[in-house]
Amino acid sequence: MNAQNADLHCHSTVSDGLLPPAALIERAVANGVDLLALTDHDEVGGLDAAIAAAEAAGLPFVTGVEISVSWGDDQTVHIVGLGFDHRHPGLRAGLERVRGGRDARAGRIAEELAKVGIEGAYEGALKYAGNPALISRSHFARYIVERGFAPDVKTVFEHWLAKGKPGYVSHPWAELAEAVDWIHAAGGIAVIAHPGRYRLSAAERRALYAAFKDLGGEGIEVVSGAATAEEIREFAGIAREFGLLASRASDFHGPGESYTDLGRMAMLPSDLTPVWAAW
Ligand code: AMP
Ligand code: MN
Ligand code: MN
Ligand code: MN
């Protein structure tokens, strides 16, 4: 497949995005995206609507998901799956298990927030999420902004929800091997999401890339929404060194809430093999 402006990572209201799948497709077309993947967190429930809307709009589309993974010493990393059969029972069962932990985790987050004076956060976050199995920290962040404790979600993460802050609770997500295996079983390729977002040492970072490569992982987001030019150079080097395909990703969640709009990222360095070369 050929693409100039591929965007292989974004979120809809089926996880913590602000736009329904069909509205995302419309926005992608308006922004000149020529290949899109919808990658909701641990959930493929938006893909049928996205496929239908993309077909109607004539926008090339691939299936996607962003799987939450626990790795190393209580770190969370995200693995994006692309181009799989979203009806695959093994993949669906795995994702359902991962989602199954979110509701209880949300209860614990709300308890911690209540201790620092933010009451009613479970109900408040659920109102934004719609579904207890999909409650994420983003929904808590929106509630905390609504309550007037902070001007925007970024500030909420800095004060309450990032690791080490009062509303952060540790949680067991999928194993790295499980996430890669579910994606492969369903016929897709696995991609390390936003490598610049993990607070890992240089050695831990390399261990993650090596472990992922050993498990048969295929790609890395060389260009992702918040990445700086320096990070893009770094991750291009990682793609070359580890023999990984390069992905390009906005991680768009919604107007006003994301660093980067759909398709509005830097281009991939031209010597890299893009993930879509294989399709
Ligand atoms: P969760 O899966 O519930 O841990 O929520 C993770 C989500 O929170 C990510 O997918 C982002 O949408 C959002 N998020 C994480 N860190 C930040 C941040 N520093 N600023 C804004 N949003 C963030
Ligand atoms: Mn998110
Ligand atoms: Mn992510
Ligand atoms: Mn994402």
Rounded CA gap, 249 and 7, in Å? 5
Residue 2 has a pLDDT of 86
| Cβ < 5 A residues, ion ligand 3 | 78, 193
In a 3-state reduction of DSSP, which class is residue 245?
strand
Residue 259 has a pLDDT of 87
> Long-range CB contacts (< 8 A, 24+ apart) of 137-144?
137/109, 137/161, 137/167, 138/16, 138/253, 139/16, 140/106, 140/109, 140/110, 140/113, 140/167, 144/113, 144/118
Rounded CA gap, 44 and 130, in Å? 16
Contact between residue 226 and residue 259 where contact means Cβ atoms under 8 Å apart: yes
In a 3-state reduction of DSSP, which class is residue 77?
strand
Q: Enter the DSSP assignment of 41.
A: B
Residue 74 has a pLDDT of 87
Rounded CA gap, 40 and 81, in Å? 10
Burial class (CB in 10 A: 0-12, 13-18, 19+), 186: buried
Domain ranges of the chain: 6-98+176-278, 102-161
Pocket test for ligand 1, best of 105, 137, 194, 252 (most atoms within 8 A of CB): 137
Task: Name residue 205's amino acid.
Answer: R
Chosen CATH of 6-98+176-278 out of 3.40.50.300, 3.40.190.10, 3.30.450.40, 3.20.20.140: 3.20.20.140
Give the pLDDT confidence of 28-60 residue by residue, as tens digits. 999 999 999 999 999 999 999 999 999 999 999
Q: How far is the CA of 135 from the centre of ligand 2 (A)?
A: 10
Pocket of ligand 1 (CB under 6 A): 16, 41, 68, 136-138, 153-154, 157, 162, 253
Pocket test for ligand 1, best of 16, 103, 259 (most atoms within 8 A of CB): 16
Question: Which of the residues in the chain have pLDDT under 50?
Answer: none
Nearest CA to ligand 1 atom 13: 138
Residue 278 has a pLDDT of 83
Query: Of all atoms in ligand 1, which is nearest to the CA of residue 135?
Result: 3
Query: Of all atoms in ligand 1, which is nearest to the CA of residue 171?
Result: 4
Task: Name residue 259's amino acid.
Answer: Y
Identify the residue whose tokens are 């902004």.
Answer: 145
Rounded CA gap, 5 and 7, in Å? 7
Q: In what order do the strands lie in the sheet with 75-82?
A: 6-7, 35-38, 61-71, 75-82, 189-192, 219-224, 245-249
Rounded CA gap, 253 and 267, in Å? 20
Burial class (CB in 10 A: 0-12, 13-18, 19+), 268: buried
Task: Name residue 135's amino acid.
Answer: I
Of 145, 144, 124, the closest CA to residue 135 belongs to 124
Which two three-digit tokens encode residue 276?
A: 């879509």
Residue 78 has a pLDDT of 98
- The CATH class, in words, for 102-161 is mainly alpha
